[in-house]
């Protein structure tokens, strides 16, 4: 509310100069719920009218953006499809345009019916989960934009987690050059 404001007029437009008013309303309240607007940038302003319907100056103009279109799914970068990885794998993505968050998931089956792990929202495009048991996994990722729209889960890849390669054993006996008559 402002002093001497009996009612308020709001204007919403896709033009900063309000050449075409998309929505408008004059009423006694200071809250207004717009009907459905399309995607894009929208400008709005308000002015007060006194009891004699004399309008004061317009407020400063503000804007907001409506975005309901999700980004495309991220492209999987690493590890290569079908590769073997010793220990827990590090996964890398190529970010799509407009993406600001990512989510990573791996499962035991290609259809992701047996999901083993789903990450929280990630800000980076490289991720290593806490640990992965030995076995075959399928992994994929999705992306979120600033408006909160999630892409679908993208293509999947397969990775096999294998045990570490053993180190060379240390020989303890007999020592090199040892001479014996014992044939065992």
More confident residue, 49 or 28: 49
Say if residue 57's pLDDT is above 80: yes
Say if residue 23's pLDDT is above 80: no
pTM above 0.75, yes or no: no
Which pLDDT band, with edges at 50, 70 and 90, does 131 fall under? confident
pLDDT at 56: 95
Tell me the DSSP string of 118-154: E---BSSSEE--S---SEEEEEEEEEEETT-PBPPP-
Backbone angles phi, psi at 178, to 5 degrees: -65, 135
Distances (CA, A) of 32 to 26, 48, 60, 159, 168: 10, 14, 17, 53, 75
Which pLDDT band, with edges at 50, 70 and 90, does 113 fall under? very high
Say if residue 155's pLDDT is above 80: yes
Give tens-digit pLDDT for 70-92.
Answer: 999 999 999 999 999 998 999 99
């Amino acid at each position: 509310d402002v002093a001497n404001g009996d009612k308020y007029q709001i204007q919403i437009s896709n033009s900063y100069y309000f050449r075409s008013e998309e929505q408008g309303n004059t009423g006694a309240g200071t809250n207004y719920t717009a009907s459905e607007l399309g995607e894009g940038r929208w400008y709005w302003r308000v002015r007060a009218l006194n009891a004699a319907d004399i309008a004061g100056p317009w407020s400063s103009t503000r804007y907001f953006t409506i975005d309901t279109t999700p980004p495309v799914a991220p492209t999987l970068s690493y590890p290569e499809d079908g590769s073997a990885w010793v220990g827990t794998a590090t996964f890398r993505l190529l970010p799509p345009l407009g993406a600001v968050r990512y989510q990573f998931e791996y499962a035991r089956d290609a259809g992701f019916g047996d999901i083993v792990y789903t990450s929280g929202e990630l800000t980076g495009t490289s991720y290593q989960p806490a640990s992965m048991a030995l076995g075959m996994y399928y992994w994929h990722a999705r992306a979120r934009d600033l408006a909160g729209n999630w892409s679908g889960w993208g293509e999947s890849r397969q990775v096999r987690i294998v045990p570490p390669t053993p180190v060379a054993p240390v020989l303890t006996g007999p020592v090199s050059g040892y001479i014996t008559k014992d044939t065992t």
